[in-house]
Structure 1
Amino acid sequence: MTTQTTAPETPSAPVAGRTSGALGMPAPVARALATGGGVLSVVSTFLAWTWTSEFPGDLTVYGYPGGLQVLVLIAGALTALFGLSSYGVKGLTGLTPAGGDGALRFASLAAFGTAWYTVIAISSTLGGVVNLEPGGYLAAAASLIAVLGAHTLPFERPEPDPLDPDESAWEHIKHRLAHGWQTVKASYAGGTPRPVGALPSYAEILIIVAILALGLTVFTYGIGTSYDELFIGFLITAGFGFAALNKAGLVAQASQITARHQNITMVGAFVAAALFPFTQTDDQYATVGVYILIFATVALGLNIVVGLAGLLDLGYVAFLGVGAYAAALVSGSPSSPFDVHFPFWAAVLVGAAASLVFGVLIGAPTLRLRGDYLAIVTLGFGEIFRITANNLDGTSGPDLTNGSNGIASIPNLDILGFDFGAQHDVGGFTIGRFANYFFLMLIITAVVVLVFRRSGDSRIGRAWVAIREDETAAHAMGINGFRVKLIAFAVGASLAGLAGTVQAHVTYTVTPEQYLFAGPIPPNSAFLLAAVVLGGMGTISGPLIGASLLFLIPNKLQFLGDYQLLAFGVALILLMRFRPEGLIPNRRRQLEFHEEAEAPAVLTKAGA
């Protein structure tokens, strides 16, 4: 006799189709409150929030949002749009392909968090709530109504896939595997499978352009925030806003579109990045931009070692230092013991070759270790490099690196008569020193991206992934694990050395203290590893975005003083808790971390 068993029903589980929220409020009423609160939040930004311009941003103007009001305007508009979309308003349903209620909740949190932070900041800075004008009170009340309405909506779980009651569990598994194999074949045959009813190619390319323009706008706004309160408000709005877009399914949809047009997306991303210096009026933020590119390029090189080959390297920043010192020694610096001045192309080759040699020398005796043991050895190498560079001062050792004083007064680059230390006028825009190095570093980043992409898609790249997933099984399939890991170590080291050659000329001075395992300011080994994990291991865009965030946020949070790393650490913990696969994960890691959400409920049969 055959019986069908199902999991016992949990009393607290939400019921599909439920029409009342957590407080017994009907869903249409809760949705109306959330949408109305979003609309009122938008209206409040056109009113004065305080009576004096002493609070940064001048929130005293009627009819023209400024400062933090702009962020509340954006968050309130998102709340209203997602609310109308969840109502099924014609023309807006496409905003929430994965459902509107989850997106509505996060959008309302963005409006609520930014509005209440602003109200509290005004009261704290100016001395009480009496300094609020009607617009401030309306923003606080409207955002509170929106968040209450959104969070009283019922939580509905999607219905599981219908299954044939006469189909055994094994037959169902075979059916799922066959479906997955068809998807894999379609992927290898022509890239990412194109879904039925997808937009025309030209429309998808326009969407990619819009996505890149939005990314450039958000990055430029975030890096150019002129006061601390505005940056904190930006973090609140951007964090909850991204979560809302992700819940709505727009992030997944954008990922699918960009995956179908990878080359166009990559070229467009570099064009958007090249436009960044032209959005700045001085060199202040171009300075941050060039350091972000150096940090991101090194993180992408580490992604080969950690993300593709699965080798935990805790001393990777030492390879950046080897390249920087090698380039500094042949740069014509008066602090260098070598009286030579190589051209830039030769200095690049020297820096990359030196890091490559050190990568092979360190990797050859250590890469037979695995896991934690390898991590400890690489950590030791990073510390040995820093201590050795500190001791090569002519007293404790040979006079090579000038000890703790480092190699100073490194001259600016001069390539084909183009002086990177001078200002240049391009199309009516004045491009300063750091903008010049920004463009140079952007070219090097493009080279590193090309190397990463080509190597990842090659035979050796597939061997790296096999070693990462199961080294024993890879050995059984005939893969020489030691050789494959050594190649990954050498390629990653040479890419770090390539970035180090530019860093030496940008910073003018190379000192051992720049290459710590951990410290308040990147790049260091801990931040590099965090950038790879935070952005998404094994992807191209993940480490670039992760490195940008990990450099920009601590740089902007310096006003917190001793609490800077505390706030930063809490943010990383929360992000890893709710998105452990990273901001831009590959499909494999997303399934690893969210397997329970992807796998359907399977009915089992028991024979009696």
Structure 2
Amino acid sequence: MNTHTTTNDNAPHKEKPPTGLIPIPTTTARALATGGGALTIISAFLAWTWTAAFPGDLTVYGYPGGLQWLVLITGALTTLLGLASYDIKGIRAITPGNADAALKYAALAAFGTAWYTILAISTHLGGLANLEPGGWITAIATLTALTGALALPYPRPRTYPVDPEDTSWEQFKHRTRNGMTVLKGAFAAETPPTPRKLNSYLEILIIITALATGLLVFTYGIGTEYDELFIGFLISVGLGFAALAKAGIVAQISVYTARHRNITLIGAFLAAAAFPFTQSDDQYATIGVYILIFATVALGLNIVVGLAGLLDLGYVAFLGVGAYAASMVSGSPSSPFDIHLPFWAAILVGAAASLIFGVLIGAPTLRLRGDYLAIVTLGFGEIFRLVAMNSDGASGPDITNGSNGISSIPNLKILGFDFGIEHSIAGFTIGRFANYFFLMLLITLVVVLVFRRSGDSRIGRAWVAIREDETAALAMGINGFRVKLIAFALGAALAGLAGTVQAHVTYTVTPEQYQFANTVPPNSAFLLAAVVLGGMGTISGPLVGAALLYLIPNKLAFLGDYQLFAFGLALALLMRFRPEGLIPNRRRQLEFHEAELAPGETPPPAVLSKTGA
């Protein structure tokens, strides 16, 4: 059944076009949205309050400060997308997707950030009377822009955007030769036309610009100086990214990254390596190194959960095994073994210990499936913690020093380079945590390469077959037990690699660090959430998910007892509206959105080929 047709602007419309939420003529609505965005830009240069007591000093005319910068950026995005909705030549070319849909999210980003700021000012200073005229103008401007955007006609999208980890052929082989195919039903109207192939150097320049922008956004977010600014940052970035996605810009960049995978990978790690040079001290480099540890372990778990489909609820135990094994042979005075191995030997010991435990635990348990396997792995995680807690010489053998753990772990030294002291590189002072950041970045690169190569290999295809239908895979001759054991052991070894660095970063390894769930990641619950949130089976998904899951709770610590409530609510909303994850592959999107297909409708050929249909 052919499910796509070629567009024809002169063809008669048989269906009545959908109307907006507010009954305003389309021309008027676009004018309101665009004009409101322009007025929002102007209002950011006005004073919003009379006193500098509110963080960010919003009392200055002619120069934005604090949250005003975020409103200025979202207002500029609203104006740009408003002009694009008029099909202005040049501007429309950079928004190949649905400009009206993108305009809604951009206007909502400006509205949400501005009105949150106004409410924060009123709460902090004691009432709306503390607003200057600039604050009122901002409120009116953003409300006007949002009203106009909501009045624009737009059908509810039901689509499957570009999979950034597909090849360019897989992304576009369901289109017509001229790149102007429009899909029906659940695939309609949202997929942008095939981007015109640019000069390779220009495409690489666009990739570099996107990576530099990502580094700038991450650096700004991690360095927010006060709570109100971070919440405004979340509102602006979340809705602003949604606007760029609806505009087709994200999908267009994904096409270029797919054409230049190796350059994108190298560029991404160079951008990450530049992060410590943007910091004046170790305050935020500390968060950076813990994010990398968390992300690396999540990527290892993604092999077990995302590729092989094995629900492991005790995965953090392998991180602990690697950390304990490395700390015992690194010269710690509280270690029961008088051994001080060099780092290369200690990291091999940690990875090997985790791999052995993975085999020992997996061999008797991987014949189970589903919930039964999840319960057994959860039990293993708790058993490891309790054994480490009781191996103190009183309740059991003197191996782990009980609840006191292995302490005073010395700093790493590689080829005379001491990771525990400051170093000067090209005029920049690099502190202790920045040193470990670079080391952990190299280990993350190794894990990414292992994941990528194994996922594309024969064993990787066997993992996917087991995940999709184990019974069918066994019937086709795949040795299910051996394939699952390899995934379990490989994932455990990768967690052990990260554990060796974690032991030296934290100086101390204790059993409390490796629980199923606590308020401080990494733990099994947060690791699993990072994989599901980011997108199972992808490389970039768990990395992004882990970064968000570590950074956001760290910055929301001011909420106190409500921190986990707010965090859990955000996760529930995300799983409700985007259950496939932030960066999913096409197969998982189809699994979650099959119900949106019209009766008798089939997905495009590219989607079918990804699912094996």
Q: Do these two structures clear the TM 0.5 threshold for a shared fold by scoring above it?
A: yes
Shift of 1:159: 13
Shift of 1:585: 1.0
Q: Which residue of structure 2 aligns with residue 220 of structure 1?
A: 219
Query: Contact 1:294–1:499 at 8 Å: present in 2 too?
Result: yes
Provide the rounded CA distance (Å) in 2 between the counterparts of 1:196 and 1:512. 52
Provide the rounded CA distance (Å) in 1 between the counterparts of 2:591 and 2:256. 23
Provide the rounded CA distance (Å) in 1 between the counterparts of 2:591 and 2:426. 49
Q: Which residue of structure 1 aligns with residue 430 of structure 2?
A: 431
Q: Deviations over 1:547-576 (max 9, x none)?
A: 000000000000000000011111111111
Amino acid paired to 2:568 = G
Query: Contact 1:15–1:157 at 8 Å: present in 2 too?
Result: no
Q: Which residue of structure 1 aligns with residue 263 of structure 2?
A: 264
- Identify unmatched segments of 5+ residues in structure 2: 1-12, 160-168, 175-192, 603-613
Q: How does 1:212-361 map to 2 (within 5 A)?
A: 212-361=211-360
C-alpha change, 1:601 and 1:252, in structure 2 (3 Å) is: farther
Shift of 1:18: 4.0
Q: Deviations over 1:362-382 (max 9, x none)?
A: 000000000110000000000
Q: How does 1:473-492 map to 2 (within 5 A)?
A: 473-492=472-491
Moved more, 468-477 or 14-23: 14-23
Moved more, 500-509 or 76-85: 76-85
Provide the rounded CA distance (Å) in 1 between the counterparts of 2:598 and 2:200. 31
Q: Percent identity?
A: 76
Provide the rounded CA distance (Å) in 1 between the counterparts of 2:487 and 2:196. 41
Q: Which residue of structure 1 aligns with residue 68 of structure 2?
A: 69
Q: Which residue of structure 1 aligns with residue 34 of structure 2?
A: 35
Query: Contact 1:367–1:482 at 8 Å: present in 2 too?
Result: yes
Secondary structure of residue in 2 paired with 1:425:
strand
Shift of 1:598: 6.9
C-alpha change, 1:83 and 1:391, in structure 2 (3 Å) is: same
Query: TM-score scaled to structure 2, two decimals?
Result: 0.89
Query: Contact 2:22–2:150 at 8 Å: present in 1 too?
Result: no
Provide the rounded CA distance (Å) in 2 between the counterparts of 1:490 and 1:112. 49
Shift of 1:525: 0.3
Secondary structure of residue in 2 paired with 1:64:
coil
Provide the rounded CA distance (Å) in 2 between the counterparts of 1:117 and 1:386. 43
Q: Which residue of structure 2 aligns with residue 383 of structure 1?
A: 382
Provide the rounded CA distance (Å) in 2 between the counterparts of 1:19 and 1:288. 47
Secondary structure of residue in 2 paired with 1:594:
helix
Moved more, 92-101 or 440-449: 92-101
C-alpha change, 1:289 and 1:15, in structure 2 (3 Å) is: farther
Provide the rounded CA distance (Å) in 1 between the counterparts of 2:428 and 2:64. 29
Q: Deviations over 1:66-98 (max 9, x none)?
A: 100000011111111111101111111123322
Secondary structure of residue in 2 paired with 1:87:
coil
Query: Contact 1:16–1:156 at 8 Å: present in 2 too?
Result: no
Query: Contact 1:19–1:27 at 8 Å: present in 2 too?
Result: no
Shift of 1:257: 1.7
Q: Deviations over 1:186-244 (max 9, x none)?
A: xxxxxxxx957322222211111011001100100000000000000000101111111
Query: Contact 2:18–2:154 at 8 Å: present in 1 too?
Result: no
Query: Contact 2:298–2:543 at 8 Å: present in 1 too?
Result: yes
What is the total number of aligned residue pairs between the two structures? 564
C-alpha change, 1:21 and 1:319, in structure 2 (3 Å) is: closer
Q: Which residue of structure 1 aligns with residue 5 of structure 2?
A: none
C-alpha change, 1:451 and 1:180, in structure 2 (3 Å) is: closer
Provide the rounded CA distance (Å) in 1 between the counterparts of 2:30 and 2:481. 59
C-alpha change, 1:361 and 1:504, in structure 2 (3 Å) is: same
Shift of 1:360: 0.1
Moved more, 22-31 or 83-92: 22-31
Provide the rounded CA distance (Å) in 1 between the counterparts of 2:245 and 2:173. 24
Shift of 1:602: 4.5
Shift of 1:599: 7.1
Amino acid paired to 1:522 = P
C-alpha change, 1:421 and 1:15, in structure 2 (3 Å) is: farther
Secondary structure of residue in 1 paired with 2:368:
coil
Q: Which residue of structure 2 aligns with residue 543 of structure 1?
A: 542
Provide the rounded CA distance (Å) in 1 between the counterparts of 2:69 and 2:253. 25
Query: Contact 2:244–2:250 at 8 Å: present in 1 too?
Result: yes
Q: Deviations over 1:98-128 (max 9, x none)?
A: 2111111111110011000100111111111
Q: Which residue of structure 2 aligns with residue 419 of structure 1?
A: 418
Q: Deviations over 1:521-557 (max 9, x none)?
A: 1000000000001111111111001000000000000
C-alpha change, 1:600 and 1:457, in structure 2 (3 Å) is: farther
Provide the rounded CA distance (Å) in 2 between the counterparts of 1:19 and 1:393. 69
Shift of 1:155: 2.5
Q: Which residue of structure 1 aligns with residue 584 of structure 2?
A: 585
Shift of 1:600: 9.2
- RMSD of Structure 2 on Structure 1 (CA): 2.2
Provide the rounded CA distance (Å) in 2 between the counterparts of 1:113 and 1:411. 48
- Identify unmatched segments of 5+ residues in structure 1: 1-13, 161-178, 185-193, 604-608
Q: Which residue of structure 2 aligns with residue 459 of structure 1?
A: 458
C-alpha change, 1:214 and 1:17, in structure 2 (3 Å) is: farther
Query: Contact 2:36–2:141 at 8 Å: present in 1 too?
Result: yes
Shift of 1:24: 2.3
Provide the rounded CA distance (Å) in 1 between the counterparts of 2:542 and 2:333. 36
